């Protein structure tokens, strides 16, 4: 069984992304079409550290973390599409555009992360992203990312 035939579980996510707890915001990849799009899942738990202060008595996942989760899903899509796993290359934000927050994300839900390419080049990619809970859109955004070497 080749790597591309294996399920995209947390072990494979850890190989694709440099992020680790508490900043790793992708728990599972449900579907990945190289060169096209990805559907990933973030299981939103009440135990997340940001819920202590955002907001006591009314826990809501910060919108910026929804955008970060979408960017991490895009990072997996780029790494897989450009065959960068194990290369030491990183995917860095360059721009965030047209971010819209439609509904709160509360503990206990599965946040679905849908991301696709708008434009793909060797070192710069533009993506669209949409987060949702049970089919209800919570966040929409477009962003640009750069593929670069990790800092020394």
Confidence of residue 147 (pLDDT cuts 50, 70, 90): very high
Percent of the chain's residues with pLDDT above 70 = 96
Q: How many structural domains are present in the chain?
A: 1
Whether the pLDDT of residue 69 is over 60: the answer is yes
Choose among 114, 100, 108, 134: nearest CA to 51: 108
pTM for the full predicted model: 0.94
> What is the predicted pLDDT for the residue at 48?
94
Provide the annotated active-site residues. Answer: 54
DSSP string spanning 102-131? -S---TT-EEEEEEEEEEE-SSEEEEEEEE
Q: Which domain holds residue 25?
A: 3-149
What CATH number does the domain containing 110 carry?
Answer: 3.10.129.10
Dihedral (CA of 82, 83, 88, 93) sign: positive
């Amino acid at each position: 069984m080749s790597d591309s035939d294996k399920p995209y579980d947390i072990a494979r996510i850890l190989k694709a992304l440099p992020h680790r707890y508490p900043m790793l915001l992708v728990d599972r990849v449900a579907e990945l079409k190289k060169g096209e799009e990805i559907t990933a899942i973030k299981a939103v738990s009440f135990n997340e550290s940001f819920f202590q202060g955002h907001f006591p008595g009314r826990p809501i996942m910060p919108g910026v973390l929804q955008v970060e989760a979408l960017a991490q899903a895009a990072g997996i899509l780029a790494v897989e599409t450009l065959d960068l796993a194990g290369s030491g290359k990183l995917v860095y934000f360059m721009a965030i555009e047209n971010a819209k927050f439609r509904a709160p994300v509360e503990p206990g839900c599965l946040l679905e992360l849908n991301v696709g390419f708008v434009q793909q080049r060797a070192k710069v990619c533009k993506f669209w992203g949409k987060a949702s809970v049970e089919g209800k859109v919570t966040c929409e955004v477009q962003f640009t990312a750069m593929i670069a070497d990790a800092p020394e």
